[in-house]
Amino acid sequence: MVGEEKMLNSQARTGKMIFQPILEDGVFRFDCSADDRNGAFPTISFENPKVRDTPLANVHTVPTYIPSFECVLGQQMVNLEFPPNTSFYGTGEVSGQLERTGKRIDLQKESNVKLISAAPYPVITFGPFASPTDVLVSFSRAVGTVFMPPKWALGYHQCRWSYLSDARVREIAKTFREKNLPCDVIWMDIDYMDGFRCFTFDKERFSDPKSLVADLHQNGFKAIWMLDPGIKSEKGYFVYDSGSERDIWIQTADGKPFIGDVWPGPCAFPDFTQSSARSWWAHLVKEFISNGVDGIWNDMNEPAVFKTVTKTMPESNIHRGDEELGGVQKHSHYHNVYGMLMARSTYEGMKLANEQKRPFVLTRAGFVGSQRYAATWTGDNLSTWEHLHMSISMVVQLGLSGQPLSGPDIGGFAGNATPKLFGRWMGVGSMFPFCRGHSEMDTIDHEPWSFGEECEEVCRLALKRRYRLLPHIYTLFYMAHTRGIPVATPTFFADPKDLELRTQENSFLLGPLLIYASTGQDQELYEMQHKLPKGVWLSFDFEDSHPDLPALYLQGGSIIPASPPYQHVGEANLTDDLSLLVALDEAGKAVGFLFEDNGDGYEYTRGGYLLTTYVAERQSSLVTVKVLKTEGSWKRPNRRLHVKILLGKGAMIDEWGIDGEILQVPIPSESEVSDLVMAGEKQLKTRIESATRIPDVENVSGHKGTELSRTPVEIKSGDWSLKVVPWIGGRIISMEHLPSKTQWLHSRVEINGYEEYSGMEHRSAGCSEEYSVIERDLEQAGEVESLQLEGDIGGGLILERQIYIPKDNLKSVRIDSCIVARKVGAGSGGFSRLVCLRVHPTFNLLHPTETYVSFTAIDGSVNEAWPESGEQVFEGGLRPNGEWRLVDKCLGLALVNRFSISQVHKCRIHWGTGNVNLELRSEDRPVSKESPLKVSHEYEVIAIP
């Protein structure tokens, strides 16, 4: 009995976690037991791993909340409950909404977080602190701050998969300069290599990389080149041979080097968990840099493996990791940190090559701590308005998760942007910490001049804005690198108590600078109400306001620096004119900072820099602007200072002086200031109204000669009359049951109704893409009618739908949907990205308190779900057994939804205000041409007793 009891206790334990204060005041480590604490794996996230495992001496503070836990069969589940109205953010690189409360990632339950791990791990909490910024500063002291980027890396980057020759690269560079479009970097994707072999160059198309880079440098450009972890398994290839000699490859479970297909074909993969492998890679990078390489792009480092459903290597593979990282472990243990360790090795190799230059590395895969070595982009997004809108939240989420240097592929990677979409995206993207345009092969050109003169001019204005604000952005990165102060933050950071700001997704902050954007196709920025934080917020521009550019506001009490709009960072000189934009607070005061150094190298770590604190104060009719203090050994450059006192509505008062000397700016009387503001508002209005807008051109022509109009397509036959909107997601916006005269589904054209999605994100591809009418058949009026639609959702995927009234049952309407792979990328092994077909209809509730959902589950249980039950998800044997009903007791009717249970992996009910969503979800998996995802279902109205 004793043995049995001991075994049961090892399988199931519950209770409150034990805690220790670590690192600094307000930071706690929680473990399920002392044994779990002593047996925990080492941390890779902490900059100094020892501090996680070392309790603070003589500190006896107690956390405000202690999480509870449950351990079952070795799995640890931790539950954290928070007060009502708690909002959740961060969670890494995620798509969807900014505010994560109630979303997936174990935040489904309000004010509750659940953390699940396969083995006992400590939980580290930071705070509560006085402000969200204080939380991130404390967090950064644990996981490390962002590397200090070279200043050129904060300019604009131009990339494509791929510029296929050095001649094309030179042409791109030349065009940027001829068209007066600022740009600092051009990227070389995988096709520059010899047969996709890393550390090689194609002998014909990139025969002389040193000469190419020399030409780029002469014209003010840097060059960044891609390196992947997959090394072609080929004897005679120097990288493979040297790696094999050193025995640094990841192994299979039986101890042999793992070989998986990637771009070059069969590949071996360096085991970056070993210091020997990291050193080997770093020295390869060191030699690679001698070709004139300015930066390195680590792609495919999840690690990606083709011709597998999981798109990565088997979890049973073996890593022979260093003891301080966790020792010998299966790939499942190290998978999430593989990309980070590769980026670290690349970063260290670049430092070996030249200690006088700061490395710049971009990584696709990352983990907490990656910011110490590399920037991150938000992955292969789509050229859609939803992904433009989502890019703000994704950049902000990464910042909240410890990665300040991030940005999306401006214009979208997959699919063809339209002129308006591209221009609008450039307007927003030019304000992100990392600013790069990138598009995939087989799309139209996506350079700023590729969409007509109107779009080109908007891009020019946007990029000039970025370069004017580079002194401010560079200063923010110095603060992030040295102190952990975040760069881009949600708008609510300016007023955390304002609950309305917590879900604000159209704006974000760069320090005290608020960027307010329009991210909807039919959304006009200057017709929107701009929800601002409390306090003084003064709008301004550089005489460049445009309907497709964001609006800029400066917080009262702030000063930010600005410069002339250079073509590239190398054009700037310390003696150039410096501008200070000043926004006084209610007390008539303001403060701001400017960090200056060489823009590269590490002299700043030895005092070789100038950090200036400027202050402004109004006394009577004068505003005095002066230097309050300085840091660093640099002498102040001899330059002119242009001070601009913002008044709001684009109005300002300016004065010239000498930087470092006290400057006094006369302030007009209140009536004169009022006149200036009115004049500024009028000028802004005139500028907006007279701006040459980007034409909203969309290709709306269908296939087989069918032309799509902006009139919904009507299907009327049997018991049903439906209206379908092909040009926005193929959405069904009306579903009327004729015998009962009941409108079960009714929506606005742009939202709700019957929608379909291609992923688990809040609004993923499929819900708004333009659908083409492939075929419309009317066999006999009043008997059978069918409508076939398809929409390109990017990445070689098509979402197809057929809506029809079948001959064998005129009382029903049937919908057959599938995600098919038409043209999956060559390197994917025939598989797409991970997709999920989500049938997402939102039905009206005519009688909300008398309506419910009923069904019999596969396991035989009978279920009723009412509005007060909230959101419910049914999986496995709890799924409806092929049918569920939306019952209206007042009408005496039920809308029956029948479906194939073999195609439906989950069913979801979500109650809204006056509506309910009954969602059918397929499994999550990649698809190939031979394995589409399908969901077929039908609706019928029946009478109930």
Give the tens place of pLDDT for each residue, 21-31: 999 999 999 99
Length of the chain as a residue count? 945
Asked whether the predicted pLDDT for residue 1 surpasses 60, the reply is no
Q: What percent of the chain has pLDDT over 90?
A: 77
Confidence of residue 3 (pLDDT cuts 50, 70, 90): very low
Asked whether the predicted pLDDT for residue 853 surpasses 70, the reply is yes
Q: How far apart are CA 154 and CA 386, in angstroms?
A: 26
Does residue 617 carry a catalytic annotation? Answer: no
pLDDT tens figures, 912-929: 777 899 999 999 998 988
Asked whether the predicted pLDDT for residue 704 surpasses 60, the reply is no
Q: What is the pLDDT of residue 705?
A: 30
The predicted model gives 142-149 an average pLDDT of 98
pLDDT tens figures, 189-214: 999 999 999 999 999 999 999 999 99
Confidence of residue 827 (pLDDT cuts 50, 70, 90): low
The predicted model gives 244-253 an average pLDDT of 98
Which long-range CB contacts under 8 A does 16-21 form with residues at least 24 apart? 16/66, 16/67, 16/68, 16/69, 17/66, 17/67, 17/68, 17/69, 17/78, 17/123, 19/62, 19/63, 19/66, 20/55, 20/56, 21/55, 21/56, 21/59, 21/61
Q: How far apart are CA 285 and CA 544, in angstroms?
A: 43
Q: For residue 354, what is the DSSP state? A: -
Confidence of residue 285 (pLDDT cuts 50, 70, 90): very high
Extract the tokens encoding 179.
Answer: 């068209």
Nearest to 651 by CA among 687, 679, 611: 679
Asked if 677 contacts 649 with a C-beta cutoff of 8 angstroms, the reply is yes
Asked whether the predicted pLDDT for residue 898 surpasses 70, the reply is yes
The predicted model gives 366-386 an average pLDDT of 94
Classify 275 as helix, strand or coil.
helix
Kindly report which listed range (417-421, 520-524, 860-864) carries the lowest average pLDDT score: 520-524
Q: How far apart are CA 291 and CA 216, in angstroms?
A: 13
Nearest to 898 by CA among 787, 774, 813: 813
Extract the tokens encoding 930.
Answer: 């031979």
Asked whether the predicted pLDDT for residue 807 surpasses 90, the reply is no
Asked whether the predicted pLDDT for residue 849 surpasses 90, the reply is no
Q: What percent of the chain has pLDDT over 70?
A: 94
Asked if 426 contacts 388 with a C-beta cutoff of 8 angstroms, the reply is no
Asked if 145 contacts 372 with a C-beta cutoff of 8 angstroms, the reply is yes
Nearest 5°: the CA angle 197, 200, 204 is 105
Q: What is the pLDDT of residue 104?
A: 52
Confidence of residue 389 (pLDDT cuts 50, 70, 90): very high
pLDDT tens figures, 457-485: 999 999 999 999 999 999 999 999 999 99
Beta bridge partner(s), residue 433: none
Full-model pTM:
0.81
Confidence of residue 8 (pLDDT cuts 50, 70, 90): very low
Q: What is the pLDDT of residue 709?
A: 47
Q: Nearest 5°: phi and psi at 896?
A: -95, 130
Beta bridge partner(s), residue 260: 267
Buried b or exposed e, range 241-272, using 16+ CB within 10 angstroms: eebeeeebbbbbeeeebbbbbbbbeebbbbbb
pLDDT tens figures, 659-687: 999 999 999 999 999 999 999 999 999 99
Extract the tokens encoding 865.
Answer: 């779900």
Asked if 729 contacts 384 with a C-beta cutoff of 8 angstroms, the reply is no
Does residue 299 carry a catalytic annotation? Answer: yes
The torsion angle over the Cα atoms of residues 450, 454, 455 and 460, rounded to 10 degrees, is: 100
Asked if 373 contacts 386 with a C-beta cutoff of 8 angstroms, the reply is no
Q: What is the pLDDT of residue 516?
A: 97
Extract the tokens encoding 134.
Answer: 């204080």
Q: What is the pLDDT of residue 856?
A: 96
Q: Which of 70, 134, 194, 302 is catalytic?
A: 302
Q: State the DSSP H helix or E strand holding residue 566, giving kind and residue range, or none if neither.
A: none
The three-state DSSP-derived secondary structure of 796-847 is: CEEEEEEEEECCCCCCEEEEEEEEEECCCCHHHCCCCCCECCEEEEEEECCC
Write the CB contacts of 28 (distance below 8 Å, at least 6 apart in sequence). Answer: 19, 20, 21, 22, 63, 124, 125
Amino acid of residue 760: M
pLDDT tens figures, 580-602: 999 999 999 999 999 999 999 99
The predicted model gives 837-856 an average pLDDT of 90
Asked whether the predicted pLDDT for residue 750 surpasses 60, the reply is yes
Nearest 5°: the CA angle 716, 722, 726 is 115
Q: What is the pLDDT of residue 303?
A: 96
pLDDT tens figures, 499-529: 999 999 999 999 999 999 999 988 999 999 9
Q: Nearest 5°: phi and psi at 666?
A: -65, 135
**Burial class, 130, CB count within 10 angstroms (exposed 0-12 / middle 13-18 / buried 19+):** exposed
Does residue 247 carry a catalytic annotation? Answer: no
Q: What is the pLDDT of residue 828?
A: 57
Q: What is the pLDDT of residue 826?
A: 52
Asked whether the predicted pLDDT for residue 287 surpasses 90, the reply is yes
- Taking residue 93's Cβ as centre, other Cβ atoms within 10 Å add up to 18
Extract the tokens encoding 139.
Answer: 């967090």
Q: How far apart are CA 726 and CA 787, in angstroms?
A: 10
Q: Nearest 5°: phi and psi at 52?
A: -65, -30
Asked if 841 contacts 745 with a C-beta cutoff of 8 angstroms, the reply is yes
Confidence of residue 73 (pLDDT cuts 50, 70, 90): confident
Q: State the DSSP H helix or E strand holding residue 274, giving kind and residue range, or none if neither.
A: none
- Taking residue 849's Cβ as centre, other Cβ atoms within 10 Å add up to 11
- Taking residue 630's Cβ as centre, other Cβ atoms within 10 Å add up to 16
The whole-chain average pLDDT of the chain stands at 91
Q: Which of 134, 234, 380, 681 is catalytic?
A: 380
Asked whether the predicted pLDDT for residue 164 surpasses 80, the reply is yes
Buried b or exposed e, range 410-439, using 16+ CB within 10 angstroms: bbbbbbbbbbbbbbbbbbbbbbbbbbbbbb
Nearest to 894 by CA among 841, 843, 840: 843
Q: How far apart are CA 605 and CA 301, in angstroms?
A: 31
Asked whether the predicted pLDDT for residue 781 surpasses 70, the reply is no
Confidence of residue 108 (pLDDT cuts 50, 70, 90): low
Asked if 101 contacts 107 with a C-beta cutoff of 8 angstroms, the reply is yes
Kindly report which listed range (59-73, 274-288, 599-613) carries the lowest average pLDDT score: 59-73
Q: Which of 228, 271, 299, 456 is catalytic?
A: 299
Rg, C-alpha atoms of the chain: 29
